[in-house]
Amino acid sequence: MNRKLQFRVSFSALAMLLVAAIFLAACGAPAAPPPQAQVIKETVVVPQTVVAQQTVVAEKTVVVPQTVVAQQTVVVEPTAAPNPEAVIPNVEPNAEVTLWTFWLSPTFDDYIKSTIARFQKAYPGVKVNWEDHQATFQDDLKNAFAAGKAPDVINLSVSEGWVSDYATKGLLLPLDDKVSQDVKDLYFPGLWNEQLVDGKNYQFPWYQGLSVELVNMKIYSDTAGLKLEDFPKTVDGLPALCKTIKEKTGTLCDIRLTTNDLLSQMVYEGGVKVISEDGKTFTFDSPEGVAWLQMYVDMVKAGTVDKSVLVTDQDRVGLDLFSSGNAAFYQTGPNLIREVRANNPGLYGYLAAVPAPVGKSGVLGKGLMSLSVKNDTKFPNASLALAQFFTNPQSMLEFSKQVAIYPSTPKSYEDPFFAAKPIAIEDSAKPIAKDIISKYADIVPTIPHKADVNDIVLQAVQAALFNNVPAQQALTDAVTKANALLAQ
C-alpha cells in the first residue's frame, strides 16, 4: 500500500473514530468540556510517515470511559520525528541499490555494515547490496559499465581523476539539480566543487586525507642532525634537503611523482597553467613548467633521490621504502601510518609528522574519495540517499573514529573527538584538519584526452630525467604531441 493510500485509510479511520468520540461525548454528561479539538489538533499534525502509529493510538481512545474521553485523548504518544539523516525525499519504495567501495574490506566491514543498517532505519524498505573491490576496481567497474551492470553508487577517487573520467563519458548522475541547497551546504564548498565537468558536480565528497611528511627521526635528526621545525614549508626546499641527507647519511630521498596525473602535480606544485583559457592549446612548456621539471632533473643528476620510487605509479613502493627504515621522510596520509607500524614496529617509535610542503599554487591539496551515482540507475533517489547518507556528518564522524581520515562535512568537526589533544602520531593532524580540508580546492581545469596527455607528459618527464633531454625541449615536444591530439 502506498503512503497516500495509507494516509487516506488512516485519516478516514481517525475521522470515523472522531465522529464516534463526538457522538459518545454528546451522549455523556454535559458538564464535560468539548475535548475533541485537541484530538483534531493531534491528528492534523501527524506526518504522513507515522499515520499508522497515530491510528493505533486513536483506536485506544474508544476504550476509555465516555466521560473522560477528552482527558484520555491528550495522552497520545508523541509523534516520531522524521529521521534527521533522511534528507533525500521521494525515495523509491522497495528500491534495491548496489554500492561498490574501493579497498575498504575487510578492515572496515563493521563500519560499512553498521552504516548500511543506520541507512535502512532512515530509509525503510531500501535494500543495499554492498561489494568491495580492490586492485581490480577500475577494470571491474569498466567491465560492469560495458555489461550494463554497473553499481548504483560508486566509490570514486577524486585525487586520481576518476570522477571526471566517468562523468565525461556521461556515465554519472549530475547532482546539482538533484539535491537541495541544504544538502549541498553540509559539505565544504571546495570539496563539493571538485571534479566539475562543464560546471556540474558529479560526486558527494567522502573521506579526505591529509598529506603529511612522515619523518624517520633516526635518519633525519639523529644521523643527519636536522631539526624537525626546519623541514621545508614549500616544495622548492626539497632539493637542498635531499642533498644534505644524502651527504650526511648516504640515504636517498623517497619522493614520488604522480605518474598517472603529472598535469595535476604541475598545477599544484609548480603553479603551471597547463592549458589555455579556451581549452584549445596546451601550455605546460611555459617557464613555470620547465622550472618544475628542472627541479626534479637536478635532483636525479645529483643522485639524491631513489629513481625507482620517483617514477613508480604505486604509492606502496615509496611507502615500503620508508617502512623498511631506509628513507628519511615520505609524504603520505596519516591513515597509512598503521601500515608503517604493522610492517616495522621498531620504526614507529622514531616517527614524527610535519605538514607536507606546499607547491607554488599555494593550494594545500584536493579531495580524496567520493561517492557518485550512475546516470542510468533505476532508483536515482534511493541511490542519492545512500551516497549522501554515507557522506553525511554522522557517518563521516563515525568513520573518522575508525581510522585517520577526515570528514568532508564541517559539522563533523564540532564533535569533541576532533578537539581532543592528539596522543598517537596518527592523530597529530586532527586539531588542524578542519582548517586544512576547508581550503582544499580542485584547481586543475578540465583536460581533454587527459589519460593520453598524461602519458605524453610522463614520457617527456622520463626523457628529461633519464635521457638527458633538456627540460624545455622535452616539454615543448610533449606540448606539440598533446596539441596534435586536440586537433584530431
Partner 1 sequence: MTKKLNLTPYLFLAPALLVIGVFILYPIFAVVYYSFTDFNIVTPPVWTGLKNYTQLFQDDVFWLALRNSFIYLLVTPILIILCILLAIAVNRKLPGINAFRAIYYVPVISGSIAVGYAWRMLFDTNGLINGVLLSTGLLQEPIQWLAEPALTLPLAMSLTIWLGLGFYMMIFLAGLQNIPEELYDAALIDGCNAFQKHWNVSLPGLRPQIVFVAVISSLAAIEVFNEIYTLTGGLGGILNSGVTMVFYLWKQAFRLQHAGYASALAIVLLVITLLFSVFNIRSLERGSEQD
The binding site for partner 1 (CB under 8 A) comprises 138-139, 142-143, 145-146, 166, 169-171, 252, 259, 303, 306-308, 310-314, 317, 321, 324, 326, 451-452, 455, 458-459, 462-463, 465-467
Distance of CA 231 to the CA centre of its chain: 29
What distances in angstroms separate CA 311 from CA 256, 257, 324, 341, 466, one per listed residue? 6, 6, 19, 25, 11
Strands (E), 197-301: 204-205, 212-216
Specify the residue, 49 or 375, whose C-beta has the smaller distance to partner 1.
Answer: 375
DSSP state of 152: S
CB of 259 to partner 1, least distance (A): 7
In angstroms, give the least distance from the CB of 413 to partner 1: 37
**Interacting residues of 427 by C-beta distance below 8 A, sequence separation 6+:** 334, 404, 420
We find the least distance from the C-beta atom of residue 139 to partner 1, in angstroms, to be 6
Answer whether 352's CB lies under 8 Å from 426's CB: no
Residue among 230 and 313 whose Cβ is closer to partner 1: 313
Q: What cell numbers appear for 419 in the block?
A: 578537539
Residue 239 CA to residue 53 CA, distance in Å, equals: 69
Of 182, 95, 186, give the one whose Cα is nearest residue 373: 95
Cβ-based nearer residue to partner 1, 136 or 181:
136
> Closer CB to partner 1, residue 103 or residue 466?
466
Grid coordinates representing 373?
Answer: 551515482
Phi, psi at residue 302, to the nearest 5°?
-75, -10
What's the closest the beta carbon of residue 256 comes to partner 1, in angstroms?
Answer: 11
Name which of 110 and 313 has its Cβ closer to partner 1. Answer: 313
Quote the least distance from Cβ 13 to partner 1, whole Å.
52
Residue 78 and residue 115 in contact, taking contact as beta carbons nearer than 8 Å: no
Q: Which is nearer to partner 1, 70 or 463 (CB)?
A: 463
CA 73 to chain centroid, in Å, comes to 49
Which residue, 173 or 210, is less far from partner 1 as judged by CB?
173
Helix (H, G, I), strand (E, B) or coil at 200: strand
**Shortest Cβ 326–partner 1 spacing (Å):** 5
Nearer to partner 1, 8 or 307 (CB): 307
User: Shortest Cβ distance from residue 308 to partner 1 (Å)?
Assistant: 4
Judged by CB, which is closer to partner 1: 308, or 480? 308
CB atoms within 10 A of CB 368: 25
Decide: 403 and 338 in contact? Cβ < 8 Å. Answer: yes
Nearest Cα residue to 14 out of 48, 52, 64: 52
CA 161, CA 269: separation in Å to the nearest integer? Answer: 17
| Longest pairwise C-alpha distance within the chain | 106
Angle formed by the axes of helices 450-466 and 262-270, to 10°?
70
Shortest CB 243 distance to partner 1, Å: 16
Least distance CB 451 / partner 1 (angstroms): 5
> Could you tell me which residues come within 8 angstroms of residue 403 by beta carbon, excluding any fewer than 6 positions away?
107, 108, 335, 338
Q: CB 316 → partner 1: shortest distance, Å?
A: 9
What is the DSSP pairing of strand 96-102 with strand 127-133? Answer: parallel
The smaller minimum CB distance to partner 1, of residues 87 and 321, is found at: 321
